[in-house]
Amino acid sequence: MKTEKLLTITFFVFLSSGIFCQSERKIKGLFEDYMLSVENNTQKPDISSVYNNEKNLGIVGKVASGYCSDTNYEVRSEAYNLVYIVALKSKKPETRQNSVFTLVKGINDKNKSISGWAVTHLSVFNRDDFNPKSKSIITSALNKRIPNKNELIKIAGYLNLQEAKNSLINIAANSQNIPDKWAAYLALARMGEQAYIDKINAIVNKYELNNDVVYEAIPGLIYTRQKDCFGYVIEALNNRKKLCMSPDPDNPERIPCGYRIMEYLAPVIEGFPYEIKASGDLKTENHKEALTKTREWFRDKGSNFKISDSTF
């Protein structure tokens, strides 16, 4: 009886292993055909089904990552995009970390388009998705000339990379590239460096509220997640003057800047009175009423509102 049970268990393990390997072989075969079509610029086979099963995603990420070192630019570019999809879809920490690590390695790709793409696609991920190897690459890349370096600088601040602090301070002090320099100020402020919080406030407070300030400066202030940097933002929210362009290109009339600012604030303020749609727009049918209620909410809270630091 024991021998029969042992044989049954052994057969089941063997069968399960065979099914898994067959699944992996099938995925590899699908990707070989898919990447060949990418290289030859022919009709791509449909591989969407492999993304519908969490159990497949680890294999898909591994297989796709192998193509990220291909000599063909189009193949590498497509491979990084497929790994990105895995990282977004998977709920397994190991799969997410491995996929994000592949994306981070893309920062050093010899093609600037891929390198720049990799940098701009990291901010959607959680801090836990970045393993020590990913953080090490990011820290090292701060000392290189790479596309969209200002965005990578802010990633370092978001991840609170203490090992990168000296590089960030050097960029803030010596860089001749204004976007990089400003990003270093913001990153160091995000990391709690009071000197840079003060520098940011001193610079921003020189400017009167206008459309450029709302679209260029205020997102940076919010990125810092420092309450000391939110004073200017809340003041701008409450400004009733019509100083900003309407998002409707057919409407030449200016509007209060608070409409855009409350959409910036909604995702990062705990208990904010309105939710945000996937598009980034406020979930409301009456924006005028929403702005009034948002102003009242901040007035009632005073300085007691809480800022969420969990996202970029």
pLDDT for residue 210: 96
Separation CA 224–CA 241 (nearest Å): 26
Give me the residues of the chain with pLDDT under 50, please.
5-22
pLDDT for res 280: 84
Q: What is the pLDDT of residues 245-297, one digit of tens each?
A: 998 888 889 999 999 999 999 999 999 999 999 888 899 999 999 999 999 99
Q: Cβ contacts of residue 36 below 8 Å, gap of 6+? A: none
The kind and range of the H/E element at 150 are: helix 149-158
Burial class (CB in 10 A: 0-12, 13-18, 19+), 181: middle
H-type alpha helices, the chain: 2-40, 54-66, 73-89, 93-105, 112-120, 132-141, 149-158, 165-174, 178-190, 194-204, 211-212, 218-223, 230-238, 258-265, 287-301
In angstroms, the Cα distances linking 310 to 90, 184, 235, 274, 307 are 19, 20, 24, 19, 9
pTM: 0.90
Q: What sign does the dihedral 143-148-153-155 (CA atoms) show?
A: negative
- In the prediction, which pLDDT does 10 show? 42
Structure tokens at 227: 């309450």
What is the reported pLDDT for 19?
Answer: 37
Output the pLDDT for position 153. 98
Q: What is the pLDDT of residue 42?
A: 97
| Tokens representing residue 210 in the block | 């206008």
Strands (DSSP E) found in the chain:
none
Q: What is the pLDDT of residues 85-118, one digit of tens each?
A: 999 999 999 999 999 999 999 999 999 999 999 9
What is the pLDDT, as a whole number, of residue 20? 42
Contact 221, 229 (CB under 8 A): yes
